[in-house]
Amino acid sequence: MGGPEQYKSCSFFVEQESGEEAGAGGTPAITSFAKSGLEKKLKPYPPIHLLDYRPNNECPFMKVYEYSGGYLAYCTVLERLLTRSEVETCEQHWKTCPVRRVGVMVGRRTSETTA
């Protein structure tokens, strides 16, 4: 309802940079979590959310963010950060995941934001 000055001042606004959507080889690029504006909303707790490796995000509903020298995994269906143990389960069983089935039925995409 306003001009660019108004919506760009929103804490959830993320300006797209060239190459941010897809990295080399067609794998999704990693976005900085603080830059995405989600840090204030989701309040990551490093002991349970912070990963020391980049998760294998074959699931189309998992977004990976850089955060504090590590990585965070976000599920767009659940609209929340995944814990370390949930990420391990997602990496191994994403094809049979019931949450993924719900996401497919609802039609969510990783490009959606939670703003």
68: left (phi over 0), alpha (psi -120 to 50) or beta: left
Handedness of CA 28, 63, 16, 43 (dihedral sign): negative
pLDDT of 29 above 50:
yes
Q: Which two tokens stand for residue 17?
A: 């940079």
Better-scored residue on pLDDT, 111 or 53:
53
The pTM is what?
0.62
pLDDT at 25: 43
pLDDT at 83: 94
| Residue 82: exposure state from Cβ atoms within 10 A (0-12, 13-18, ≥19) | buried
Instruction: Give residue-wise pLDDT tens across range 32-91.
Output: 666 666 777 788 889 999 999 999 888 888 999 888 889 999 998 888 999 999 999 989
